[in-house]
């Protein structure tokens, strides 16, 4: 049975300061701003939407159990560029045996990871 879900439409990013988050995601990370919504930004076909929990009567908490992996061509180069813009990374860039990764957080403490898979998936290696 096929799933009725066809894609990830929006990733909600909680924030205590939507304008500060907008600056970080658009100016620091370079995400494409949405033409129709000030606090929405695009990575390929996936929308990132900043929302403020306090506006919904919810206490703010960073998304500690959900990490967004941001695909880049070269983790070390992307990391160096972001460090030049003041982004602080959590530890060293690491190699999992199939990908390179570097962890950091946005201004509200939401975890993000620069990610580059370099090893083919098992089925690709056999083809």
pLDDT of residue 8: 84
Domain that includes residue 108, residue range: 65-127
C-alpha separations of 10 from 34, 42, 84 in Å: 12, 9, 29
The neighbouring-strand residues paired with 70 are: 114
Number of domains in the chain: 2
pLDDT of residue 53: 94
pLDDT of residue 31: 96
Identify whether residues 39 and 76 lie together within a single domain: no
Identify whether residues 96 and 116 lie together within a single domain: yes
Residue 31 lies in a domain: yes
Provide the H-helix boundaries in 15-85: 18-23, 75-84
Identify whether residues 42 and 22 lie together within a single domain: yes
Determine the straight-line distance between the first and last CA of the chain, rounded to whole angstroms: 26
pLDDT of residue 126: 52
Residue 84 lies in a domain: yes
CATH number where 25 lies = 3.10.180.10
- Domain end among 54, 76, 93: 54
Residue 119 lies in a domain: yes
Walking along the chain (127 residues) 10 residues at a time, the average pLDDT comes out as: 87 95 97 96 94 93 85 97 97 95 96 94 59
Residue 38 lies in a domain: yes
pLDDT of residue 57: 95
């Amino acid at each position: 049975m096929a799933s009725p879900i066809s894609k990830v439409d929006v990733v909600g990013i909680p924030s205590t300061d939507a304008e500060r988050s907008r600056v970080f995601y658009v100016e620091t990370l370079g995400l494409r701003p949405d033409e129709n919504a000030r606090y929405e930004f695009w990575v390929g076909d996936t929308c990132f939407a900043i929302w403020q929990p306090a506006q919904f009567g919810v206490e703010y908490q960073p998304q500690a159990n959900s990490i967004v992996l941001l695909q880049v061509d070269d983790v070390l180069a992307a990391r160096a560029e972001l460090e030049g813009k003041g982004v602080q990374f959590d530890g060293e860039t690491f190699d999992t045996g199939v990908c390179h990764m570097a962890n950091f957080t946005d201004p509200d403490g939401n975890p993000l990871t620069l990610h580059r898979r370099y090893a083919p998936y098992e089925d690709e290696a056999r083809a």
